[in-house]
Amino acid sequence: MSILIKISQRNLLRHRGKSFVIGLIIFLGAFFMTVGNAIVNGMNKGLEENMVQRFLGNLVIVSTNQIDDNILTGMPKPKKVITGYFKVRDLIVSNDAIEQYFPMGFGYSIVFNPEGDHPLYVMSFGIDFQAYQKMFHSNIFMIEGTLPTNGQKGIIVNNLSRDQFYENGGFWTLPQGQPVVISNLSAKALSNTNKLITKNELILQGANADGGSLDLGVKVSGIFKFQTMNDVWSVINFIDIETFRETFGYTTESDAKIVLNPEQKSLLNANEDDINSMFSDESMFESADIVSKKYDINDIKKQTKKSDTNAAKTDPGSYNIICVKLKNGADTAQTVKKLNEEFKTNGMDARAIPWDKASGQIGMFANIFRMGINGFVTFLFFVAIIIIMNTLSMAALERISEIGMMRAVGARKSFIGGMFLYETFILAFVFGTAGMLIGTLFQRLLRLAQFKADNNMMEIMFGGDYFQPFLDPGTVLLCIIQLLFVTGLSIIYPIIVARKITPLDAISRN
């Protein structure tokens, strides 16, 4: 063995020019594989952090009447309500793979605009604000106003949605009681500060597939931006869950608490003819004297004002979507399959969808980018294998005289093959290690450079707001395995060529 190693080292030094060329190819292959794996790993980590942990969860549960898997992007479609929510919730809680869940209302809302010719459209999430922040790592960052607390009602508007409101509706949205912040104005609003129309209440109506939606004035509590990927989710705005249900015409908890007396029940149960007959009965009218009395408009407003300080208990009621996070190590595909089997067995109005399908084009683009980078790294493998194999084969043929003489003095084919194997793996160890170390340093410099995504496509490609390639011990081990795999494959053919060289070949060459 020691003789084999010594001869291999001697050969590498004797043919140092060819050794350097082969080593350089291995170096470049190891370098690009390390950087490529760091990019893929950073993108996966970014998507895991920003899409799963901060926005949607590992999977979402929707109504079985919600036909499309894509619920976030594409043409706006009314969302269906999950019926029998409590049974669905109990089944979710009993699943050992699930760590957290968060139910919310979700749909498209119409913003009526008295200042413009046409209404505006926004994507609305009906939530319990504090529970949402707890579930998604405080992903909402307020830049003006405050986040509603203790069941307060109101809407918080994305800062980029506010820019669109001004662009398309001609008004600037402000939180109630807050002044205009000049530094937050869009370029168009900034050029028109003298005639700036502001609104601190929006008139919303939910796009309900089953009808019954209401238009309702909702006070603006604040302006926010997402901590990450704000460009991607710029159309999303948050409303308290009770107001959301009211605008979409869903039954609210306060509605469910109304107790009807027998006369009211009789009125509701009456058919159309009975109702018409009631208006023909003069007994339903009461005579009253006309009096002269002054009314204070402020007293009337105070008496008729709808309270907005009552706590809204958001657990009971209607939800369109349930976001679910899984425990570490839980398999998303297996959990989705198990949940759907249990939903179907128990006859529940629910089905589970993994996050990448639920997020539509966003998940699709993320997968395409990830597949593209993986494909590029795989392409590098094959290129490196072919180049190294050809170079080693040429080196074997150029050493026919040397190898033929070795065979003539008694060297076996296994010795020749072992010699080539050692030479190649010494080069792979030296130059491959150097390539991985330089690649690790390079990805670290890229990470420190903090390249920022300029648009939502870049945010999806980066997996977040910044380009953050990342190497962890698992990825480094993967790089080593890939380097050994490439080296092992590329040496097979040159060894076969070298083993076939005979003393007669050496004599013929001379």
3-state secondary structure of 267: helix
Please tell me the pTM assigned to this model.
Answer: 0.69
CA distances for 164 relative to 11, 106, 201, 364, angstroms: 70, 20, 16, 26
CA separation for the pair 88, 347 (Å, rounded):
10
**Rounded-to-5 percentages of helix, strand, coil across the chain:** 55, 15, 30
Q: How many CB atoms lie within 10 A of CB 201?
A: 15
CA separation for the pair 162, 140 (Å, rounded):
15
CA separation for the pair 169, 188 (Å, rounded):
12
What integer pLDDT is reported at residue 311 of this predicted model?
A: 45
Q: Which of 193, 256, 247 is nearest to 215 (CA)?
A: 247
**Cβ proximity of 129 and 148 under 8 Å:** yes
**Cβ proximity of 400 and 505 under 8 Å:** yes
CA distances for 212 relative to 109, 145, 205, 247, 453, angstroms: 13, 31, 10, 9, 42
Q: How many CB atoms lie within 10 A of CB 160?
A: 17
The residue-averaged pLDDT of 12-20 equals 82
Q: Give, in degrees to the nearest 5, the angle at Cα 152 between 149 and 158.
A: 75
Q: Following DSSP, what letter does each residue of 61-88 receive, concatenated?
A: EE-TT---S--SSSS--PPPP-SSHHHH
279 pLDDT higher than 80: no
Task: Give 447-456 pLDDT, tens digit per residue.
Answer: 888 887 777 6
304 pLDDT higher than 70: no
257 pLDDT higher than 60: no
Task: Give 394-407 pLDDT, tens digit per residue.
Answer: 878 888 888 888 88
The residue-averaged pLDDT of 177-199 equals 89
Instruction: Band the pLDDT of 229: cuts 50, 70, 90.
Output: confident
Instruction: Band the pLDDT of 314: cuts 50, 70, 90.
Output: very low
CA separation for the pair 184, 381 (Å, rounded):
49
109 forms beta bridges with: 122, 206
- Most confident of the ranges 187-196, 204-213, 386-395: 187-196
From its phi and psi, is residue 84 left (phi > 0), alpha (psi between -120 and 50) or beta? Answer: left
What integer pLDDT is reported at residue 403 of this predicted model?
A: 84
| End-to-end Cα separation, the chain, in angstroms | 30
Dihedral (CA of 364, 366, 371, 372) sign: positive
CA separation for the pair 153, 504 (Å, rounded):
93
Task: Give 60-108 pLDDT, tens digit per residue.
Answer: 999 998 878 887 766 666 678 888 889 999 999 999 999 999 999 988 8
